[in-house]
Amino acid sequence: MTMWSIIIIASLGCLALKVSGYLVPPSFMERPRPSRVANLLTVALLAALVATQTFGAGTEIVVDARVPALLLAAALFALRVPFILVIIAAAATAALLRLLY
Amino acid sequence: MARSTDDSTAIRQAVSVGAAVSAYGISFGALGVTAGLDIWQTCVLSLLMFSGGSQFALIGVLASGGVAAGPAAIAGAVLLGSRNAIYAMRMGPIIGRGWLRRAAASHLTIDESTAVSTAQQSLRAQRVGFWWTGILIFSGWNLSTLIGAFVGDALGDVSAYGLDAAAAAAFLGLLWPRLKELQPVVVAIAAAVVAAVLTPMLPAGLPVLAAAGVAVIVGLTNWLGVTQPHTLAEEVSADTIVTEDEHS
């Protein structure tokens, strides 16, 4: 699989989902179950990505400078600091720790 | 002709949300090139996929597993995009008829445009809110992706600059506004544990997909859920990320 084919297939898949929503009859919307699953799916995937992006190194689990950076990010999000500033703070924390140790 | 107050409220919210979201397209662009994509591949993702969560998910899996993790990366991105189908069902009656208009609207159907639209009172303001937010973010997000991609390309080595930690923080930022009730908090913790435990056992990307199983089980059984089922309108407005903060 080439990088371009991954990008095109994934993009078309996401686009197809958006289009499909406009094609289903509005009555489907009244059911709480599909929207609940879709919402929790988003939560589960994002949480799993936080975990693998923080602790994963290939197929290993490691604890390194990313952990304190993520804890700082969590604190800043709790304080309602804007997204872009939190991202920069997390990157700077990890970079600084790597420079020092 | 003067605009109605409803319309100006919708436009004001669209502009504030648009500016905030566009700014973090820079982090997506930078992370895209450090994940192994070139500048143009990163930009095509923003143009064609145009859904932040899915885009970050795709490059996150590709960063750890490379092109070999392609199928898992695609599956993760598409699963994360499933909520856009729900938003589209919500937006359908608001957008109205005409296939060209609906086709354009479907590409712009994302968290923010749906949230701003459904927060408005009148149908007219809901339409104004949707189109303004969608078009502003589409322009801003693609422009900032391009800038970020050039910045990331110039920066070079990932870990030395802490961009891998930035990616983790980006996912946390997308997750944060969704953790307002017990059920999503429990799902988030369980999914994170499942993904971490499976990481040494499975190829890159698959632990994330396995964690999605937690959501399906809890979602179908409504374990720890509220007894009063949410309507879709409430679910969508609960996702309002920036509007509530800036206008409360």
Give the nearest chain B residue to A57 (CA atoms): B64
Q: Say yes or no for a CB contact (<8 Å) between A10 and B73.
A: yes
- List the single residue in B107, B176, B187 with the smallest CB-CB distance to A18: B107
How far A29 CA sits from the closest chain B CA (Å)? 7
CB B34 within 8 A of CB B161: no
What would the pLDDT profile of A14-64 be if each residue is shown by its tens digit?
A: 999 999 999 987 677 667 888 888 889 889 999 999 999 999 987 889 999
- The DSSP code sequence of A28-79 is GGG-HHHHHHHHHHHHHHHHHHHHHHHHEETTEE--STHHHHHHHHHHHHHT
Provide ipTM, 2 decimals.
0.91
Token pair belonging to B185: 């908090």
Is residue A61 classed as helix, strand or coil in its secondary structure?
strand
Report the residue of A4, A87, A97 to disrupt the B interface, i.e. the one with the largest count of B CBs within 10 Å: A87
CB B108 within 8 A of CB A28: no
How far A75 CA sits from the closest chain B CA (Å)? 11
Q: Say yes or no for a CB contact (<8 Å) between A49 and B60.
A: yes
What would the pLDDT profile of A50-84 be if each residue is shown by its tens digit?
A: 999 999 987 889 999 999 999 999 999 999 998 88
Q: Which of residues 139-158 of B touch A (CB under 8 A)?
A: none
How far A14 CA sits from the closest chain B CA (Å)? 5
Bridge partners of A60, per DSSP, are A57
Tens of each residue's pLDDT in chain B, 248 residues: 446 788 998 999 898 888 888 878 888 999 999 899 999 999 999 999 999 999 999 999 998 889 999 999 999 999 999 989 989 988 998 998 899 999 999 999 999 999 899 888 899 999 999 999 999 999 999 999 999 999 988 887 656 678 889 889 988 998 998 899 999 999 999 999 999 999 999 888 889 889 999 999 999 998 888 654 555 545 554 444 443 333 33
The pTM (predicted TM-score) of the whole model is: 0.83
